[in-house]
Amino acid sequence: MKKRYRFLILLLVAGICLAFLYPTVRWYFFTPRDEQNLALGSREQIRDYARQTAGFEMEALIAAGRTGGALPEGMEYLVGEARKSYRRTKRPVPEIWDAEAVLRAFSRSDVQAFVEAHYRDRILKVKNYQQNAVQLGLDLSGGLSIVLQADMESLRTKFNSQYGRNPTAEEQNILMTQALEALNNRIDRFGLSEPVIRRQGSDQIYVEIPGTADPERIRSIIMGKGGLSFHIVDEEASMAFENSLREHPGLIPDEEGNLPAGIVAPDVLVLGTYEKDNYGLDSWTGYAAVKRQVGLDGNHVQNATVTRDELANTPAVSFELDSEGGELFWNFTSENVGKRLAIVLDNRIKSMARINQPLRSRVQISGSLSGEEANNIALTLRTAALPVELEVSSQQSIGPSMGADTITRGLYALLGGLGAVMVFMLLYYRSAGFNAIVAQILNIYLMFSILSAFNFTLTLPSIAGFILTIGMAVDANVIIFERMKEELRLGKSRAAAVDAGFDKAFWAIMDSNITTVIAALFLSKLGTGPIQGFAVSLAIGVFSSVFTALFVSRLMFDFGTDVMKNKKLTVSWLIKQGKEA
């Protein structure tokens, strides 16, 4: 491959890694502490902050407008939107932008909504950085301690409706074990979150989640208490309820969807319909009546992804069912072709779609869905169903198991070790050692970029895996340089020595790294918790170190030979080489 193409590949990889690493750098180094505290709050708290701040700023803006004063400090962002408003309505644009000029551009409700959106978008953007940044493990930063309580009363009700009896103790134990496994898959899909998840008693699950105490992380884990189901929408009952609601505005169904007798049929539930608002919160949009009979339980859903409707070219949601669920859903949809299907999560209707044909194991939900709505539905289907409903019984923050002083000393030891290795490479291999140093720095950059890309959690075992691969990357450079020495002793030129050094060292490097990857695969499959985290980080480091040692380092040597026109290869104090190619 030509050097130009290899250089472009290197730039592309570096650019992609920079994009992956950006949220981590932005969150930890360029986000003020007060904004971090706001972003770590729940979305309800962010909503309250944005609305309260918008109210205060509106009062200041109106007061300044009444007295003809200047625009309050910090509200200059309104000028751009006000200028657009003047131009849109074909009014003369003011030369001086004071408070009165800005207020004339909007109605009061519009300007307040714009101010609220300004603060909402800013904090939600910071929150997105936090969610996509590298998280620190329990041993480094502490985290959350949560006790989840199983709702056994709801479980007994569910069993009575399906089987006409209460669950046995053995069945309860099996369902709790399945819930434990489901939670573990949600929290630690890649083995680098390092959670602590264990049974506590007969009906509780204890969870420790590393990272900052962000309530949104809890919601993402126990999203939905387990009540995911599919129901048929009863159009006639929906219309009857709407007519009754006009006559009796105070007529509201209870939390289970029940109404006083006589308004709708006994086999009908009236549930609220919800959509995500600008804060990502469920916003009530109305009511719909559904059949009380559950057409399909959410536990049969195995996977859900966002796809495209080939006919309408719009976002759609596809989900897969297990064999039992596929048979049940085929019978259910065959009987209800042309009717609307409601996806119900914890007695809230999340989405409704029309059944166009009988469906079996693979189902597609399409219609007038936006990309965000499709993502929300897929997330609901993929993560909501639990074999038993869980509720947060208690929650508290826990401190790091290692003190700040210990972490600081460990960091100094890490940097000191890396510095010593780099100094040795530079002194022993001279200018060739500089290539190794650049490759090592890029290797660290790549590893942390991958860590950030997959939102992994940084813990001591994962750090140990990375440190090990850094040492292995140095070994690869040592093998290459020693091969180059042998070629120079034979009297070969710089270009010939570089080519032979990399070619002859290639399989030695690949053999050692392949065996390491095999060991890492076995550790990741057979190990759990810290062992799995160490194995995955080790595998990541192997791939990045091989790339930097064989690709980046080779590119630097070729650049010196062909572009800088260097004739000498300085790889040792003892070997003098100056023969031209």
Kindly report the backbone phi and psi dihedral angles of residue 314, in degrees, each rounded to the nearest multiple of 5, phi listed first.
-125, 160
Buried b (16+ CB within 10 A) or exposed e, 449-486: bbbbbebbbbbbbbbebbbbbbebbbebbbbbbebbbe
Q: Considering the domain boundaries, does residue 392 fall inside one?
A: no
Gap between the Cα atoms of 355 and 119, Å rounded:
41
Each residue of 11-56: pLDDT tens digit?
Answer: 999 999 999 999 989 988 899 988 888 887 777 788 889 989 998 9
**Tokens 């104090």 — which residue?**
573
Q: How far apart are CA 578 and CA 559, in angstroms?
A: 18
463 plus 558 within the same structural domain: yes
| The three-state (H, E, C) secondary structure of 476-509, written as one string | HHHHHHHHHHHHHHCCCCHHHHHHHHHHHHHHHH
Paired with 527 in beta bridges are none
DSSP reduced 3-state for 307: strand
157 and 113, same structural domain? no
Residue 176 lies in a domain: yes
Let me know whether 376 and 409 are in one domain.
Answer: no
Instruction: Give bridge partners of residue 229 from the DSSP assignment.
Output: 297, 344
pLDDT at 352: 84
**What residue has token string 């550790």?**
523
Give me the amino acid identity at 556.
M
pLDDT < 50 regions, the chain: 189-192, 225-226, 578-581
| Cα separation, 88 vs 84, whole angstroms | 6
Half-sphere exposure of 272 (CA within 13 A, CB side): 15
* Total count of domains within the chain: 4
Say whether both 288 and 266 belong to one domain: yes
Q: Are residues 81 and 99 in the same domain?
A: yes
* Residue 216 and residue 86 share a domain: no
- The sign of the CA dihedral 28, 34, 40, 46 is negative
Tell me how many helices (H) and strands (E) the chain has. Answer: 19, 15
> Is the pTM here over 0.85, yes or no?
no
Residues 223, 461: Cα–Cα separation, whole Å: 29
What whole-number distance in Å separates Cα of residue 79 and Cα of residue 95?
11
Reported as half-sphere exposure (CB side, CA atoms, 13 A), residue 223 has a value of 18
Is residue 1 in some structural domain?
Answer: no
Closest CA to 38 of 196, 161, 170, 216: 216
Same domain? 247 vs 348: yes
| Amino acid symbol at 357 | Q
Helix (H) or strand (E) holding 100: helix 99-105
pLDDT attached to residue 225:
46
Would residue 23 count as lying in a domain?
no
Q: 């009061």: which residue's tokens?
A: 108
CA 210 to chain centre: 15
CA distances for 35 relative to 56, 120, 164, 176, angstroms: 18, 12, 53, 39
Structural contact between residues 449 and 397, judged by C-beta atoms closer than 8 angstroms: no
CATH number for the domain that contains residue 214: 3.30.70.3400
Q: Is 360 helix (H, G, I), strand (E, B) or coil?
A: coil
Q: Are residues 197 and 257 in the same domain?
A: no
Range of the structural domain that residue 465 is part of = 403-562
**Whole-number Å distance between alpha carbons of 575 and 569:** 9
Is position 580 within any domain?
no
DSSP three-state, residue 320: strand
CA 556 to chain centre: 36
Residues 423 and 522 in one domain: yes
User: How buried is residue 409: exposed, middle or buried, by Cβ count under 10 Å (0-12/13-18/19+)?
Assistant: exposed
Residue 207 lies in a domain: yes
Query: Is 80 part of any domain?
Result: yes
Give pLDDT tens digits for 68-95: 888 888 888 899 889 998 998 888 988 8
Res 220: pLDDT: 54
pLDDT tens digits along 421-462:
888 888 888 888 888 889 888 988 998 898 888 777 777 777
Say yes or no: 413 and 464 in one domain.
yes
Task: Note whether 303 and 382 are within 8 A (CB).
Answer: yes
Q: Which two tokens stand for residue 67?
A: 């007295």
Same domain flag for 159 and 91: no
Length of the chain: 581
Of 173, 192, 221, which residue sits at a domain end? 221
> Is 297 found in the same domain as 205?
no
Does residue 397 lie within any of the structural domains? no
